[in-house]
Amino acid sequence: MQEKKLHLKNISKSFGGRKVVDIKELTLGTHGIEGLIGPNGAGKTTLINLITHKLRMDGGQVLYYTNGNEIDISNKSFDEIARFGMVRTNQVIQDFQSLSIRDSLLLSLATPEYERLYSIFSEKKLRKAAEQDIAKYLDYFHFENPDGHALSAGEKKLLDIIRCLLLKPKVLLMDEPTCGLPQDQTDLVIALMRKKTVEEGMSILIVEHDLDLIWGVSENVYFMAEGEILIQGPPEEVRKNKTVVKKYMGEGDA
């Protein structure tokens, strides 16, 4: 078990008078890989958007823990949060159609966050370090033509994951990261995530509808419904919980 990375207090968000997120208290990041599951409309993606300040919360507090320090990131910008070491993947992937795969990744690193990681390097060494990191990930995911432009939906997903990993985050929030990927690429993503948690101490929260993936990879699972976290615990306990079965899985999947 790791030290906690995030603590949420009284997080709430409403749209049109309907409360879509209502979290009284929640600690995240005490395990390497955690899963967040729940039916459509449960508030899972909205919660991720609130944590990373892509949406402004109606009320509450998000505390981030790094290097023994507690930082209130409730009102920090998305970019400021990334500088602290927390990044997220996206359901909708930005597409640089005019750029090659390699160049689109280089462009995504034209950020203060990446320069901070390599601040002791000259600009030439910075670019070389970035190119080496990019080449490593493109090779791992078997991109045969990194100078190409045409990308499948699955390759766009992988590029989004690579962009996040290039920033060397301490906390990675992944919203349906393997949706649309073939099994061999899904296996590569899972293996890499496990490696990152073990070797780098990264904490990963995965929002996913693929329950087989969640049960297989997560050390801890949160079940969300109607804006609230109703159940949390080891996957083998959550998958047998009567509330989870009734509200999400269906009796036939118990």
Name the 3-class secondary structure at 111: coil
| Across 43-57, 75-89, 122-136, least confident range | 122-136
For the stretch 196-248, pLDDT in tens is: 999 999 999 999 999 999 999 999 999 999 999 999 999 999 999 999 998 88
For the stretch 179-190, pLDDT in tens is: 889 999 999 999
Give the CA distances from residue 157 to residues 49, 144, 168, 186, 251, in Å, rounded to whole numbers and listed in that order. Answer: 18, 16, 18, 11, 32
For the stretch 130-184, pLDDT in tens is: 889 999 999 999 887 777 667 778 888 899 999 999 988 999 999 999 988 999 9
Indicate the domain borders of the chain: 6-95+166-253, 96-150
Name the 3-class secondary structure at 218: coil
* CATH class of the region 6-95+166-253: alpha beta
- CB-side neighbour CA atoms (13 Å) of 129: 18
